[in-house]
Structure 1
Amino acid sequence: MKTVSMSAAIGLAVAMLMAGSAGVVQAASLVEVSLWDKGASTEMPMGLAYATPGIDLSKVTMGIKASPGAVKAGEVTFNVKNDSKDTVHEMIVMYLADPSKPLPYVEAENRVDEDKAGDKGEVSELDPGKSGTLTVELQAGKYLLICNVPGHYGAGMWVEFTVDP
């Protein structure tokens, strides 16, 4: 039987630790998202878009909840569920280059101009009760999660989301 010297054993242990840590990959941050509303028969107020002066969010009849509301930069997975009983919703991740300014809006269509707004990815229209997943690489900064079905964003269907360094 061979004996291993102490320095050889330490060298082997260090090599094994280095090899083991080389394969470690940072797991994606997981965000649970709920798309909700008070029902299709509820009148949708307008003028509740992000960064609207004098906005009164107590009037919203639909919205987005994200938990957690902040994650570390890197790969982020959004598990999105449409918790509505009768309305189609979607979730789009928008980067806010200037958080003090509203997103570009197309009044005639009652929706955000996604091409100009900084769309980072989306879970397209989900029927009531359905779910979808989106995984994206996000840099540190401020984002909005929005529903861009016509009228929904202006009715307050958005939530701020932060990606920390």
Structure 2
Amino acid sequence: MKRISRRAAIGLAAVMLMAGGAGAAQAASTVKVSLWDKGASAEMPTGLAYATPGLDITKATMGIKASPGSVKAGAVTFKVKNDSKDTIHEMIVMFMADPTKPLPYISNENRVDEDKAGDKGEVSELDPGKSGTLTVDLKAGKYLLICNVPGHYGAGMWAEFTVNP
């Protein structure tokens, strides 16, 4: 068996650590997202949009669950599943320039104005039971994951999401 010098072994170990660290820095964080509801027959409440005064999200009959709820800045992969049995949903990543303010809303269309709200990417309408994936590069800050099918966001279908430095 061939022996290598201590200096060569240390050099080789350093190169392997740097290569491993570079690969880890480029790997995307993965977030599992569930789009859920209590069924099409459940009454869809209104007035449950993010930052609504007097908000009682416990009345929501649909929602979004993200796990984990925060990641480090960089590439983030969202693995989204529509867990509904009978309703189409979608997931849109919205950057919150000011987390104390509601997203711009188009009342007559019953949905968020995606162009004004800071849309960072989406998994478009998913049929019940279907899945989709989205990878986006996110900077540190506060985000909302929303379903913007008409009426769903106002019925409480959103989740706060944090990207840390």
What's the TM-score once normalised by structure 2's chain length?
0.92
Aligned-pair CA distance for 1:146: 0.3
1:16 aligns with 2:28: no
Counterpart in 2 of 1:112? 112
Counterpart AA for 1:71: V
Counterpart AA for 1:63: G
- Runs of 4+ that moved beyond 3 A: none
1:156 aligns with 2:159: no
Q: Distance in 1 between matches of 2:88 and 2:113?
A: 19
Deviates more, 1:38-47 or 1:17-26: 17-26
1:99 aligns with 2:95: no
Give CA-to-partner distance per residue, 1:45-86, whole Å, 9 cap, x none.
111100001111121010001111111111111110000000
State the secondary structure of the residue aligned to 1:23: helix
Aligned-pair CA distance for 1:23: 2.7
State the secondary structure of the residue aligned to 2:155: coil
Counterpart in 1 of 2:29? 29
Q: Distance in 1 between matches of 2:15 and 2:89?
A: 46
Q: How does 1:11-160 map to 2 (within 5 A)?
A: 11-24=7-20, 25-26=23-24, 27-160=27-160
Aligned-pair CA distance for 1:18: 3.2
State the secondary structure of the residue aligned to 1:19: helix
Q: Distance in 2 between matches of 1:3 and 1:118?
A: 58
Overall identity of the aligned pairs, in %: 74
Deviates more, 1:154-163 or 1:40-49: 40-49
Between Structure 1 and Structure 2, the one with more helix by share is 2
Q: Distance in 2 between matches of 1:127 and 1:136?
A: 22
Aligned-pair CA distance for 1:112: 0.6
Counterpart AA for 2:11: A
Counterpart AA for 2:96: L
Q: Decide which structure has the larger Cα Rg and report it.
A: 1
Give CA-to-partner distance per residue, 1:80-108, whole Å, 9 cap, x none.
00000000000011110100000011111
Q: Distance in 2 between matches of 1:122 and 1:12?
A: 49
Give CA-to-partner distance per residue, 1:96-154, whole Å, 9 cap, x none.
01000000111111111111111111111000000011111111111100000011000
Aligned-pair CA distance for 1:30: 1.1
Aligned-pair CA distance for 1:17: 2.3
